[in-house]
Amino acid sequence: MLNSWVVMPTCLPTVLRRCHACASGRFRTTGKFRVNANHKLIDVWLLALCVGCGETTKITVLERANVRSVRPELLDRAHGNDPALAAETLRDPVVRRRNRIALDWDGAWRLDTGGTDHLDREVIDVSVRFAAPVPVRPVRLIADGCGLSRAAVERLAEEGRLVSAVRLGGRLSGDFTFTLKR
């Protein structure tokens, strides 16, 4: 029987960027946007607060864009401080590269295994699905979901009792399956 696990985000990730006021390297996004129009040009920023001093920084979403070229639903979502738009903005690699930021997902996701009935079985077939592209090590997911240590999961993989088509050592943010034989 195939079990389905889901990796779900619980909140927005922490933004890693140097604060110009206190030299802290972490910002919490509030999910609020600032929209500024100047004649026919518009700017949209996602606001973030420094964890150390509370200073506000702006993550550029749109810069000096022609108002007519911006989709009206995007502007409505930015004006309404849509949390889903904030999450989409942070996941966008173009926005992250342009603003020179990285994301820290520690504590911003959870694993839903659907219960603990799979822990008693001799062979477990699991399909792991990501609700959002959260980069996580598969070894950590398997350890958390099966109630094992990461070293025990790595040992099972070396012994051939943990089999997967993906590499278990690196970070992964896409769906995968594995089979565990105890």
- Judging by beta carbons within 10 Å of its beta carbon (0-12, 13-18, 19+), is residue 61 exposed, middle or buried? buried
Question: Is residue 115 predicted with pLDDT exceeding 80?
Answer: no
Residue pLDDT, tens place only, 75-85: 999 999 999 99
Q: CA 140 to CA 126: how far, in whole Å?
A: 14
Per-residue tokens: 133: 């592209």
Q: What is the pLDDT of residue 25?
A: 92
Q: What is the pLDDT of residue 147?
A: 87
Q: Integer distance in angstroms from the first to the last C-alpha of the chain?
A: 16
Query: What is residue 150's DSSP assignment?
Result: H
Max Cα separation, the chain?
A: 67
Residue pLDDT, tens place only, 30-51: 899 999 998 899 999 999 999 9
- CB contact set of 120 (below 8 Å; sequence gap of 6+): none
Q: Are 127 and 143 in contact (CB under 8 A)?
A: no
Q: What is the pLDDT of residue 118?
A: 66
For 96-117, what is the mean pLDDT?
89
Q: Are 49 and 28 in contact (CB under 8 A)?
A: yes
Closest-CA residue to 38 (of 74, 76, 80, 66): 66
Query: pTM for the complete prediction?
Result: 0.77
Token pair 């930015």 is found at: 78
Tell me the pLDDT of the chain averaged across its residues. 91
Secondary structure (3-state) at 125: strand
For 49-71, what is the mean pLDDT?
94
